[in-house]
Structure formats: C-alpha cells, structure tokens
Amino acid sequence: MENWITTVQEPRTLFLAWQAPDHYKERYRWAVGMLSPTGNDLQLRYFSDTEFRQFNDGKPIDAARALSYEGFPSFDRKRQIHQAGVADAFLRRLPPQSRADFRDFMKQFRLAPDRPLSPLALLGRTEAKLPSDGFSVVDPLDPTQASCDLMLEIAGFRYYVKEEPLGVGVGHEVTIEAEPDNQYDAGAVKVSLGGRKIGNINRLQAPTFLQWLRHRKVTAVLERLNGKPDSPRAFVFARVRPAMRAAA
C-alpha cells in the first residue's frame, strides 16, 4: 500500500549539494551553497571558504575542486550571489508540469499531483537530481516540526546491497537510528532492515534527524526500489510524530 505526503512544510532554505563522479570513488556529499526565496525568484549563494568548511566537516573548497567541482552550470562560482533565473534553472532539472507524465513523476515522491507547491518546496521534496552532473538540492528539514511525512532516498544503499541482495520488497519496516560509532561521521544516522544496515540518512539531514530521534517518534518503511542493477536505489517513507509521554 502506497503512502502519501499530505502536508508539505515550506522550507526556508535548501542546500545546493554536489557529489564527485563515480570514478573518483569519493562518496562524500558536499554542501557548496544555499538556495533561498527572493521576490518571485530564488537566490543561489555559494558558500564562502569559512562556510564551506563549516558545512563540510572542516574540509576546504580546494578538496572539492580536486574532485572536479566547478560550480553549478550557468552560475559562475567566482560570483558568490546569483538572483536572476535561478528558479528556472533548477526547475528545468524536473519534468515540465505541462508534460502528461508529470503526475507520475510526482507520485514517485508520494506527492499528490494536484497539490500546489512552491518552486522551493518542489525542489526540496524531489532533490532535482540529474545523473550527469552530481548536483542536487537538499532540504535540511526543521527540527522544531512536531509532525511530518517524508520520502527520502537511502544514502549509500547500493554499496550495502552490492555483496548481499536485499531479499525483500517494499512495505517492510526499517529502523532509523543514531550511529555514533560510524568511523567516518559520529553524527551519522543509519537505516537498518531486520538488524542489517542498508545505508544512511543524507548527512545534510542527519542533524535534524538526531533531534527528532531524541524528541519525536520516528518510524519508516521501505517505500520504493528502483535504479539499475549496478546502481540500485531505495527510498523510505518516514513518519515523524510527537513522542508519547509516559503516564503520570
């Protein structure tokens, strides 16, 4: 049975994220800038060197450049702020809403096809990924939100099922929990199925999930499996609800 997102909170900002091409064998997802609303458009602001280190575990921008990062196409990174044509540039990464199959695209992310969404909300819910350039947009999420439903891709899924196939289909319950013993990131949040780790929550959303795990009830199910045989993808449908208080 499919789940549906009935309420979409308007994000205040979105991260512009970038991942190096596969041949670099570098799975790190870099935060390189921020999208925010401005008038009838969106603003793209590339991070300063200090901000870049802040959002990338102290790593300098030169580390991303060494992996071929050059800034988002059409928006020169030598200019920090761009305010013209930003929304159109990012929305072109999605199917046009006039296309007959746009409803099917929305359904992939469990978004009601007839529900109006702002450009920022639509980008945040779909991530606007293309296979050709490594860029995506990521909603950092709101840790103060009491309830929400989310459709999220499991980061690193293909690496965890490479040697041992998943063996189950959609609809199975998964566990989302903190992973303080992660050798790469003590702030990681892992996704497990039947006690077996199958990936992580996007690192740019992990800080919010850590707060939700402390103060909310978080449940999730395996919602969608697709991709190619050599690059499988998996998505979970997560529910965040107020934590039940113990009776006095």
Higher pLDDT, 112 or 216: 216
Average pLDDT over residues 179-202: 96
Would you state the pLDDT for residue 165? 79
Average pLDDT over residues 104-118: 90
Average pLDDT of the chain to the nearest whole number: 93
CA separation for the pair 16, 43 (Å, rounded): 11
Q: Determine how many CB atoms are found less than 10 A away from the CB of residue 147.
A: 12
CA separation for the pair 106, 114 (Å, rounded): 9
What stretch(es) of the chain map to CATH 3.30.70.2330? 142-248
DSSP assignment of 177-216 equals EE-TT-SS-TT-EEEEETTEEEEE--TTTHHHHHHHHHHE
Predicted model pTM: 0.93
What's the CATH class of domain 142-248? alpha beta
Is 1's pLDDT higher than 70? no
Would you state the pLDDT for residue 113? 81
Would you state the pLDDT for residue 220? 98
Average pLDDT over residues 101-108: 93
CA separation for the pair 9, 7 (Å, rounded): 6
Average pLDDT over residues 45-66: 98
Would you state the pLDDT for residue 246? 53
Residue where the block lists tokens 């969608």: 224
Dihedral over Cα of 238, 54, 14, 130: its sign? negative
Average pLDDT over residues 164-185: 91
**35-44 confidence digits (pLDDT tens):** 999 988 999 9
CB–CB of 43/35 below 8 Å? yes
Would you state the pLDDT for residue 16? 99
